[in-house]
Amino acid sequence: MSEISEIESRKATLDLSIAGTYQIFMPYEFTDRVGDVAFPGFCDPVEMLAYPLDQVPAKAIERYSWKALSTWGTVDDLKHFLPRLLELAIAKSSVNELIDPVTVFGKLRYARWPSWPEREQNTIAEFLHALWAYVIALPPDAVANLTSFSDANDCLDAIDRATDEITPFLDQWLNDATTSDIRANAAAQIALTVLDSSERLSLKGTANRHGHAFDRWLQSKKLAECLAKAYLENPESKYAGDISDAEAFVRMRVTTRQP
Q: Which helix (H) or strand (E) holds 87?
A: helix 75-89
pLDDT surpasses 60 at 205: no
Domain range annotation of the chain: 1-140, 165-259
Q: At a CB cut-off of 8 Å and minimum separation 6, what does 185 contact? A: 3, 136, 137, 138, 139, 140
What is the average pLDDT across 213-219? 87
Q: How far is residue 50 from each of residues 24, 33, 35, 45, 80, measured CA to CA in Å?
A: 22, 15, 18, 9, 14
* Mean pLDDT for all residues in the chain: 88
What is the average pLDDT across 222-230? 96
Report how far residue 230's alpha carbon sits from residue 226's, in angstroms, rounded to the nearest whole number.
6
Q: Which has more pLDDT, 198 or 200?
A: 198
> What's the pLDDT tens digit per position in 85-141?
999 999 987 566 789 999 999 999 999 999 999 999 999 999 999 999 999 999 999
Q: At a CB cut-off of 8 Å and minimum separation 6, what does 102 contact? A: 157, 158, 161
Report how far residue 26's alpha carbon sits from residue 80's, in angstroms, rounded to the nearest whole number.
7
The pLDDT score that the predictor gives to residue 163 is 93
> What's the pLDDT tens digit per position in 5-24?
999 999 999 999 999 999 99
Q: How far is residue 142 from each of residues 7, 150, 226, 251, measured CA to CA in Å?
A: 12, 9, 22, 28
Beta bridge partners of 68: 72
pLDDT band for position 34 (cuts 50, 70, 90): very low
Taking the model in full, what pTM does it have? 0.91
Q: ∠ CA(28), CA(168), CA(223), 5° rounding?
A: 150
Using an 8 Å Cβ cutoff, are 41 and 71 in contact? Answer: yes
- For the ranges 36-40, 77-81, 234-238, the lowest mean pLDDT is seen at 36-40
What is the average pLDDT across 247-254? 91
